[in-house]
Amino acid sequence: MNLIVERTDSAPWFTNMNSIFRALGFAASNYDWFISDIETNYYGTEFTSEDQWISGDTLECFITENNVQFIWAVFSAFPKETRFPVENPPNALDPGYWSGTEVTPQLKNALFEIVAWDSSATILIGLPDAAIEKFRAAFPDTKSLISAANQENS
């Protein structure tokens, strides 16, 4: 099942990845990440707007040490030490999200995908069931992405 959270009082803002990972019940350091389509309120040398591979340890340090709002970004999770050339990086404006059907992560073999969508929503694609349950407990306003897309399309 894919999820979207658009309204919540459970986080300082919808696309605070530190809050998202806590709600999922796992650490960013459990995975390696390809992050693409990045726009944030953070400007620094250790994290840029360029599409990039980043270790889970580095991502976890970054999101816990910096108060960052991701306005746009696609976080694609992979098993640790996974790296390959990415020819077509994931895009936060993927129309598949709003198709009203179940979608999968945009990068082949990604375990799951977390999308910061215009600083007004967080979209979760392909999460394990245990993470879905934890996330819904932390963010009770979470909806199925299919039902949200069908509401948008009607």
Contact 106, 76 (CB under 8 A): yes
Q: Give, rounded to a whole angstrom, the gap between the first and last alpha carbons of the chain.
A: 21
DSSP string, 82-140: -----SS---TT-GGGGSSS----SSTT-SEEEEEETTTEEEEES--HHHHHHHHHH-T
- pLDDT at position 69 is 87
- pTM here is 0.93
* pLDDT, one tens digit for every residue, the chain (154 residues): 899 988 666 556 668 888 899 999 999 999 999 999 999 988 777 778 899 999 999 999 999 998 888 999 999 999 999 999 999 999 999 999 989 889 999 999 999 999 999 888 999 999 999 999 999 999 988 999 988 777 766 5
- pLDDT at position 107 is 97
Q: What's the CA gap between 104 and 17, in Å, rounded?
A: 20
Contact 60, 29 (CB under 8 A): yes
- pLDDT at position 152 is 65
